[in-house]
Amino acid sequence: MPPNPPHFLSTYDYVIVGAGTAGCVLANRLSADASKRVLLLEAGGVDDWMWIHIPVGYLFCIGNPRTDWCYKTEVEARLNGRSIAYPRGKTLGGSSSINAMIYMRGQARDYDEWAALTGDTGWAWRNVFPVFKQSENHFAGNSDLHGAAGEWRVEEQRLDWDVLHAWQAAAAECGIAPTADFNGGDNTGSAWFQVNQRMGTRWSCAKAFLRPVKARANLTVLTKALATKICIVGDGEHQRAVGVEYLRNGEKHFAAATCEVLLASGAINTPQLLQLSGVGNAAHLHPLGIAVVHDLPGVGENLQDHLQMRLAYKVHGIRTLNEWYHTWRGKLHMAAQFALLRRGPLTMAPSQLGAFAKSDPTQTSANLQYHVQPLSLDKFGEPLHTFPAITMSVCNLRPTSRGHVRLKRDDATAAPAITLNYLSTKVDQRIAVDALKLTRRIAAAPALAHLRPQEFMPGTAFQTDEALLDAAGNIGTTIFHPVGSCKMGRADDASAVVDSRLRVRGIGGLRIIDASIMPTITSGNTNSPTLMIAERGAAMVIDDAKVRC
């Protein structure tokens, strides 16, 4: 309990901060024990807005303060001095309520690398693979590759585009062959993305894991509740987290945790809350007037993201969403398809076709990911173009650039400084240039010739390697995959924030269970890997409680 406790006090066994992907899983699994009292705090509101549930509604959710934190990065030197919008979900379900809905595990090598970096084989692919299956409710039923008994619904997309089939054929002509499924540990090849939807509507983690258990008497879910500080008592090697202060309806509250405080606020908000609580790099906290409770230099460091480079091409003689969207007849058709059949463009994930490839033959596995779309726009939140076009987005799956999340001031309501340092290493610069060249080879392949593709983003004026790197800075943007800012690692890794059981170093009763603990980013979309982390983290909490709580 804090030295001067707020007027409003409550006591629970577990206090979970953040009702995003990880928080919803934790609330479900921990409250299954009726003897444990669980509090789930969410800074955003209830997920009751129509556009959260209509898949194409991400266009209205991203950049909207109702559902998005609406962060912006600091100015990025290698993005040619641009600051970019940095969406993060702010509602029940978190980013799973506004994201691309793509079901992706990554590559086996990702998790084997985690095992090597942490010294814990529990994170190896052979051991996390069953955890992915455990959560999954796959449309094709149980198989060697997929599970069907879990809550996390995975379905095929409910629409088709000839222009994407043409792109897939062109990719095959450039050595990227079609594959049946991206989720077996090697995602090389091209395929239509499988998505987290149920019958054409978004299937968020709030729907999958939270709604079915919200009526449990031992589970309390509070929305519009902004965590402002973790209360830590003791000194030296005997410090312990005992609760969380939060603001709700303009009043300060305190929730005591008799077992553990569990941070599940993601790669931006989790390090922010730790720093506000005096846990972080003393050199960064002292100038802000924050009393240092625990000098932990890795907090907020090691931030990683996939930089997406969006190349766009005008096409001819084939339908894309652009021209369909710009007619009343097209809009009415789309609305009718969704209302009557739960099919058509309103069920679209942001990307329909995906591909994984090597930027050059020396790569040990696919290090590029494509998100291919039958549409084009200048940026999310702006109207589609009026002419037929296709977007070929490509990202480096394993960037070597590292950024950080740091407080600007001692204020929980103020956005932190988010710096990605995109393209800050020679390796990342080389891969960006190679990725643009490969994309142009695909666009020039015979299978697309009948569509007469014309590049207009970034434009054909960029030809030399130096010019292409400049072009990457012009068109590069986030693909919404921030991870790693509170990484797990071995005891001798001074930059590690948590151990392999996700316990914060040097503070008892405090665990981080979200994407921030990834030591390295996964080779693909990061939402389902975060869900897997939450499943493993929940099991660890339950197991440890048998002895300590």
pLDDT in tens, 74-133: 999 999 999 999 999 999 999 999 999 999 999 999 999 999 999 999 999 999 999 999
Above 60 in pLDDT, residue 2?
no
Above 70 in pLDDT, residue 7?
no
pLDDT at 350: 87
Taking residue 265's Cβ as centre, other Cβ atoms within 10 Å add up to: 29
| Residue 87 CA: distances (Å) to CA of 36, 64, 90, 250 | 34, 9, 9, 25
pLDDT at 8: 63
pLDDT at 4: 56
Mean pLDDT, rounded, for 176-203? 97
Q: Which residue has the higher pLDDT, 77 or 6?
A: 77
pLDDT in tens, 428-441: 999 999 999 999 99
Q: Are 324 and 311 in contact (CB under 8 A)?
A: no
Q: What share of the chain is helix, strand, coil (3-state, %, to 5)?
A: 30, 25, 45
Report d(CA 444, CA 537) in Å as an integer.
Answer: 47
Report d(CA 229, CA 254) in Å as an integer.
Answer: 9
φ and ψ of 384, to 5 deg: -65, 155
Of 146, 306, 385, 481, which is the active-site residue?
Answer: 481
Q: Are 133 and 147 in contact (CB under 8 A)?
A: yes
Query: Is residue 146 flagged as an active site residue?
Result: no
Sorted by sequence, the CB contacts under 8 Å of residue 430 that are 6+ apart come out as none
Cα angle 298, 309, 524 (rounded to 5 degrees) comes to 55
CA-nearest of 407, 12, 347, 394 to 159 is 347
* Residue 268: Cβ-neighbour burial (10 angstroms; 0-12, 13-18, 19+): buried
pLDDT at 528: 98
The number of angstroms, rounded, from the C-alpha of 466 to the middle of its chain's C-alpha atoms is: 31
pTM to 2 decimals? Answer: 0.96
Mean pLDDT, rounded, for 194-223? 98
DSSP codes joined into one string, 338-357: HHHHS-SGGG--S--EEEEE
pLDDT at 466: 97
Q: Pinpoint the alpha helices (H) of 420-497.
A: 426-443, 465-475
Pairing of strands 152-154, 136-138: parallel
pLDDT at 294: 97
- Tell me the pLDDT band of 547, cut-offs 50, 70 and 90: confident
pLDDT at 235: 85
- Tell me the pLDDT band of 1, cut-offs 50, 70 and 90: low
pLDDT at 517: 98
Q: Are 505 and 125 in contact (CB under 8 A)?
A: no
pLDDT in tens, 311-352: 999 999 999 999 988 888 888 988 899 888 899 888 988 899
Q: Of all helices (H) and strands (E), which one includes residue 46?
A: none
Above 60 in pLDDT, residue 6?
no
Above 60 in pLDDT, residue 490?
yes
Give the chain's mean pLDDT.
Answer: 95
The number of angstroms, rounded, from the C-alpha of 66 to the middle of its chain's C-alpha atoms is: 18
- State percent of the chain over pLDDT 90: 91
Sorted by sequence, the CB contacts under 8 Å of residue 371 that are 6+ apart come out as 100, 308, 350, 351, 353, 354, 393, 394, 395, 479
Taking residue 539's Cβ as centre, other Cβ atoms within 10 Å add up to: 14
